[in-house]
Amino acid sequence: MQTVLITGVAGFIGSNLAELLLRRGIEVFGIDNFDDYYPAVIKQSNLNPLNAFKQFYFFKADIRNYSVWMKQMPASVDCVIHLAAKAGVRYSIMFPQGYEDTNVNGTLKAFELAKVLNARQFIFCSSSSVYGNNPDTPWDESALLFPDNPYAKTKVLSENLLYRQSVESDINIMVLRLFSVYGPRMRPDLMMNRIFESMASGASIPVFGDGNSQRDYTYIDDIVNGIYNSMRYDKAKFEIINLGNSYPVALLDVIKIFEDKLGQKAKLDFLPVVNGESLCTFASIEKAGKLLNYFPKTLIEQGISKYIEYRFTKH
């Protein structure tokens, strides 16, 4: 049986990824420190479906203190997938303290653990935010990086750290730059969740700027399938690959889709632009298609419908 360690397993992407792997017969060890960025009850809810699998093992701990709990791990794992991070582009701009230690030092500790566990592969989930406001879209993996907020800067630092590690280690390293992931178990601060919550309660939706900023929204099922495919890639010691949808959508258009699906008009509260956020994110996914057989299938209208259905089913 293949064995995988996932850091940040109780989060949005981590829990969805773990469930996919468990359903495919993979043994999953998960770690999460229940960071207080959002309520712990949400993370506990994310773990509930995973606890139904006998081959799932969870540690509530910090990756930076792995020596405390690693004795309960097997002697080796096939792959370490590092998702744990202090999240939030906008939050990092307002409250930058702690991002570098948690994200950069956390990545180093996760890689150290991968070496201790004799992993053959290390997958690091980076972010589209590393491209900043590079106007030359769509962004391929060789595009210039303009990380203009603390969160993005920690992702670039982590990528560079891992590249240096790849020169000295036998572990294959894959860096995946994820683009605006959405879907079931989405973090409460993410825009689509805010839209749904605001419309459900009759409150106004906060719109920063004129609403024409665009994001390459990518449905969670497409993302976790891309990560799963990356686990089987072994053709290079170090690789960087975008996982996106390659189809930017303006915020006002996203709100319009929610209006159509929910059958009601949204109230909008236009606010000043937040400096440090990208005006448009747009992934080139040609490399992902060639190397990982990654071809996202979920159109934005379909994805939002699935998310709305999940919210009504959950509540």
Beta strand ranges found along the chain (DSSP E): 3-7, 27-32, 56-60, 79-82, 121-127, 172-178, 181-182, 204-208, 214-215, 218-219, 238-243, 249-250, 267-271
Q: Which run of H or of E encompasses 194?
A: helix 191-201
Residue 299 in tokens: 């159109």
Contact 100, 147 (CB under 8 A): no
Instruction: Count CB neighbours of 216 within 10 A.
Output: 25
What Å distances lie between residue 167 and 79, 112, 115, 163, 238, CA to CA? 18, 14, 14, 7, 9
Q: Is 228 a catalytic residue?
A: no
| One-letter amino acid of 249 | V
Q: Which of 151, 228, 247, 294 is catalytic?
A: 151
What single string gives the DSSP state of each residue in 232-261?
T--S-SEEEEEES-S--EEHHHHHHHHHHH
Strands 121-127 vs 204-208: parallel, antiparallel or unpaired = unpaired
What single string gives the DSSP state of each residue in 129-174?
GGGTT-SSPSB-TTSPP---SHHHHHHHHHHHHHHHHHHH-SSEEE
CB-count burial class (<10 Å; 0-12, 13-18, 19+) for 195: buried
Catalytic positions, please?
A: 151
